[in-house]
Each structure stands twice: as structure tokens, then as C-alpha cells.
Structure 1
């Protein structure tokens, strides 16, 4: 090996060490004050306050009463400094997974509990140890919220998340719990090439499925029935003083090929627009 090649290898190694230390270091001081405020966003290096955090009122969410009760109870425990679960919210799109997580924070803040949400993108898992180091030094409860998580084939992210959930070197502190949403109960790609691998394919699949088992609380959200869909619209229409016909509401959902809380809300926006009203 030449001196040039040796220097290059040393440079690469130092660069990797520097990146690792950066991920483990506390969040820079220019981050927002996380001691106050209901919601923040993790950029990968700093924490920014979310000024427009205005979730829908918890009692406006319809058709998911069991999920509401269980998530609210778990979050109350966390806010009170008691043992609480990491949570996986999984299931159909548009059925209120992320809305519920945010509305629970709003509900608890209005009740006087000191708890905040920190949103992070799913591609920032490697940077979370630095965030945990900062959140763990603050005397308040935090929900670290990762929306619509998914992993590419060959990604090391599932193992990193398991380490966080199991109490490994990258584990979250006691005042922080992970709330994660996914469209599938088992957080795996739709197509797993490993299933075609003749060498222990079942072990590979089991390794991936094991991630969802690490969440102490798993809440399923299923496609809305027609009755649930109309109940959602009833609740919204009552709150905003709107009048509608059931057949018109059903036509709206047939045109979109699905029934969900999101589709119900879109119909309410349409109704308000027809009536010349503004809603928030």
C-alpha cells in the first residue's frame, strides 16, 4: 500500500468517525426552546418550533373511539411521568392515524398536562440519538412522532429502530416515547426479495416482522363503513353549521372510490365552499 493510499484510508475513517460523533452530539444551541410550546420539528440537526400547530379537537374524530381512548390513556401516563408504551398506529390511509396523535397532544395541553410532540421524518433515524440526548435533559414529556414510516430493501433502519425500542445504545430516554404510523401492521416493504432467497428466508422475514412486536401498543385503523362515514360527516356538519343530503355524501365517496375520515373532511370542505363559508 502506498503512502497516498494509506492517507486516503485514514481520511475516510476520520470522516466516518466525525459523522458518527455528530449524530451522537447534543442538538446545537440555535434550536428552539423545547421547554415551552406544544409541537416541534426535528430537521436532523436542530429543533424548530411549529407555530401553526392546530390539530382538530379530539371529540371531532369519529368512528375510532377505542383508538382514541387507548392512545389518550397512554399519553396521559407519559405526561404524568408514569410508564407508557411506544405506539404503532397502522392501517388504512385517511382514517385519522396522524390526526389522532396530534389531537391527543392538543387535548392534554388544554387539560394542563405538560407534553409536546416532536415530528421527525422517517429518513432521519440515524440522527435521533442526538435528539434523544437533548430531550432527555428536559423536564417534560415528549412524543417523538414519525409519520408514514417505511423501509427500503437492505436498509439498516429497522435494526436501528429496534435498538431504540429495546433499550440499546440508541434508546430513547424515559420521558420520550415513539409514536409511529404505517399503512401496514408489519413495517415491511410490499415486496421482499429475501423471500426468494434459498438461505433461511423465513429468518429474514421474521427479523423484519419483529420490529412491530417491539411496540407495546399497536392500534389498527380500518376502512370506514358507510355508517361510520356518514357519522363523520354528521359530526363535522353539526360543528360547522352545514346541511347536506346523505345521497350527495355517498355520491362523493363513490366518485373517489373510498370511505375514510379524509374523504369525509374533503366533502365538508366542498359543502362549506358551496355555502360560501370558511372553515379551519
Structure 2
């Protein structure tokens, strides 16, 4: 083969390699252990912890009318940070009542004590073992947090979560806890026919009651359950008044905004803390 032919082949091979590299997922960035929060990212077969340096600001004092839940969760978290026994936590209940905000507020309050937060999507729960291996041996204390956790029929990722919580031969690590929020107490849909244990099902299931037990067992592997409830009208108005103050409104604005705040909640069909905060932003933008 002559030199010109060889050079042509090399040029073509380099072109093919360049096209292949364009289709490959990017190499994960170098690990940054200086951040207080991380997000688990996955591209193809590669997964890594993406450092988050700008965290949405919220304080424990900003969360109103969830005092019992706040106290229990902070007690559990402080025990974990001090190396004492602590539980994985499942927070369930009404939307917009501060479940995920409470976790972020704990990070703001206790990051200097070594608390770190790792956000993971439900679809990536199969990577829990990889994440735990990655942070094993680190001096910080990590909360792996999954927001809006629920599973539909046929999803298999819940099995990975079950093993990580309590069921794997490998120990999860003393510097790791799992916190999750959900609108479903048992995380998976349940059907009336599943409770009719004496009736044979069309799919041939002989012991349908055991299906119910399997679904409930996932929730039971969280050692601590916290329930959040819808706010009453006065609670909602108290939260509105708090956020109006945060946004610089004088105290008299709380009374002036009362009727409009109730109308705002009525239009959205919810008196949640999230709706109260959204109204306070709108009011402050128009009156401050």
C-alpha cells in the first residue's frame, strides 16, 4: 500500500472516530466535594454527582404550621449528624405543605455540621448502590433525597430502593440516610380487587393478598413516617402574612391582602403553603 493510500485510510478512520465520539455521552466532570448539595446525573452508562453551589434559600422558620413534623425530622437529622442511630424517612400528605422545603431548610441550617444533600430522580434509583459506594468513607453525612416518589404497576426500580433501605447483604453505610416525599402513603397504586383474597383473579394470581403485602412492605422499610395535612383557612392566612413580611411588606398588608389571598387560593383549589408563598410574591410585586 502506497503512502497516499495509507494517509487516506488514516484520515477516514479519524473521521469515523470523530463521529463516534460525538455520539458518546460526555465524560463526567471531576468530583467537587466542596459543595453542600448534589444532583445525581446519568448519561447512558455513565453516572456522576453534579455539584450544586446555588441552593434555593429557605429557612426552618419559614415553614409554618408544621411544627411537629419539623421537630421530629430535625431531631432525627441531628442524631444522624452526631453519629447516633437514625431512621430513613418517608414524608407523605397534601401537596404544597412543605415536605421537600423542610429537607432543604435542614440543609441550610446544618450544612456546617457536615450535612450534605444528594437529589436523585425516581428513574435513577437503580443507581443507589453506585452512589453509596461513591460516598463511602467520606467524613460528611449524606441525605439521599427523592422527591415525589411513587411507582406505577410494573416498575422495577422500587426493588432497588427496598434493598437499599433494608434488605441487602451489603450495609448501606453509616454516613447515608434516605429521605423521600410522596403523595401516596404506600407509594404504589392499590386496587380493590387486590384485597379480595378469596376471589381468584383473571391473571391467575392465587394469593392476591401477598401482592398487597409486597406493596406495603416498601413503605414499612422507612423507619420514620411523617404525615402532612391540608392547612385550614387561618393557617393559610398566617403563612401568607409570614411571606409578605419576608418580601418586605409592613404588617398592615396582611389584613389588607386577606380577601385577595382567599380568592387566590379558591381559584387554585388549594390553601397550601406553596400557594400562600406564590400569592405573597404577587402582592409584594404590586404593592412594595
Match of 1:204 in 2: 211
Match of 1:179 in 2: 179
Task: Name the CA distance, whole Å, in 2 between partners of 1:47 and 1:231.
Answer: 38
SS in 2 for 1:143: strand
CA shift in 2, pair 1:74/1:116, >3 Å: same
Task: Name the CA distance, whole Å, in 2 between partners of 1:170 and 1:267.
Answer: 48
- What RMSD, in angstroms, separates the aligned Cα atoms of the two structures? 1.9
SS in 2 for 1:88: strand
Select which of 39, 50, 69 maps to 1:48: 50
Task: Name the CA distance, whole Å, in 1 between partners of 2:141 and 2:178.
Answer: 11
- Offset at 1:194? 5.3
Higher CA-based Rg: 2
TM-score (norm 2): 0.80
Match of 1:260 in 2: 272
Match of 1:163 in 2: 163
- Offset at 1:170? 5.8
Please list the CA deviations of residues 109-162 of structure 1 after superposition, one character each: whole Å capped at 9, or x if unmatched.
2xx311110000011111121110011121110000001111121222222211
- Which is worse superposed, 44-53 or 184-193? 184-193
CA shift in 2, pair 1:55/1:217, >3 Å: farther
> Is this contact kept in 1: 2:97–2:228, CA < 8 A?
yes
- Offset at 1:86? 0.2
- Which is worse superposed, 178-187 or 52-61? 52-61
Match of 1:132 in 2: 132
Task: Name the CA distance, whole Å, in 2 between partners of 1:50 and 1:29.
Answer: 15
CA shift in 2, pair 1:66/1:202, >3 Å: same
Task: List runs of 5+ in structure 2 lacking aligned partners.
Answer: 1-26
> Is this contact kept in 2: 1:116–1:141, CA < 8 A?
yes
Written as runs of structure 1 = structure 2, the 5 A alignment for 1:231-250 is 231-242=238-249, 243=253, 244-250=256-262
Matched, 1:39 2:37: yes
Match of 2:81 in 1: 79
CA shift in 2, pair 1:271/1:29, >3 Å: closer
Task: Name the CA distance, whole Å, in 1 between partners of 2:174 and 2:222.
Answer: 15
Match of 2:120 in 1: 120
Per chain length, whose mean CA-contact separation is higher, i.e. which structure has more relative contact order (CA < 8 Å, sep 6+)?
1
Task: Name the CA distance, whole Å, in 1 between partners of 2:52 and 2:191.
Answer: 36
Task: Name the CA distance, whole Å, in 2 between partners of 1:170 and 1:152.
Answer: 27
> Is this contact kept in 1: 2:128–2:164, CA < 8 A?
no
- Offset at 1:241? 2.4
Match of 1:14 in 2: none
Task: Name the CA distance, whole Å, in 1 between partners of 2:92 and 2:86.
Answer: 18
- Offset at 1:171? 5.0
Match of 1:147 in 2: 147
